[in-house]
Amino acid sequence: MDARMEHLTTTEAAIAAGVSIPQINRMIDEKILPEDLYDTTPIRTFRSDACLLIAFYFETANWLTANARLETIRNARIRCSTWDEWKDCTVGDQNLTIRFSDLWKEVDGRLRSLTEARQMVVEDPEILSGTPVIQGTRVPVHDVAAQLDAGVPMERILRSYPSLNASQVELASIYAKAAPQRGRPRRLSIPGATRISVTKMRLRNTRAGA
């Protein structure tokens, strides 16, 4: 499978890069990201290699200055222009060498998951009036994702949806993050007598990562 994706939305780019949406927007608003790696008309969309460079910019913030990161991005783009070339891309000099291979694998893996999640979901007017469902079923993808993200154990979700497997449930969560449900979220219906304990620490962490 080719993990390259063009025209990723802001939300999809955030998932692929492993950063927050505000960080994604900052890359454009502060003109950090080279302009040919994204488009703003009619909405902001990004290329796959943009996600890799966004990930690099924030991953190395604690040990490289902003100028050093920008220079590395410029030098790397001279040597590496295709997605496959980025896999083994190395730039630097006698004082500092940057290898993109490990970061490439992480971003590539997230892009693959996004691609699988996209392909798994269908919208058919004949099925639940076009509600996004998992292919081959009548199971709304956002309902499954809401349960997993709320902490419902995988085993209970699979018992509630016997037509699904664990991989589909995990991909449902990725899809829902990449394509959030519009409007007011429906009240979560949790099968059985499941109880979810939400600690203050968890709430703080959730807000911080939002």
Is this model's pTM higher than 0.85 or not? no
Q: Which residue has the higher pLDDT, 209 or 18?
A: 18
Q: What is the per-residue pLDDT for 4?
A: 60
Q: What is the per-residue pLDDT for 207?
A: 42
Compute the mean pLDDT over every residue in the chain, rounded to the nearest whole number: 87
* Domains of the chain (ranges, CATH numbers): 8-109 (no CATH), 123-209 (1.10.10.10)
Q: Which residue has the higher pLDDT, 135 or 206?
A: 135
Q: What is the per-residue pLDDT for 93?
A: 74
Mean pLDDT of 16-33: 96
Residues 35-52: pLDDT tens digits?
999 999 999 999 999 999
Backbone CA torsion sign across 30, 35, 40, 41: positive
Residues 63-103: pLDDT tens digits?
999 999 999 999 999 999 899 999 999 998 778 899 999 99
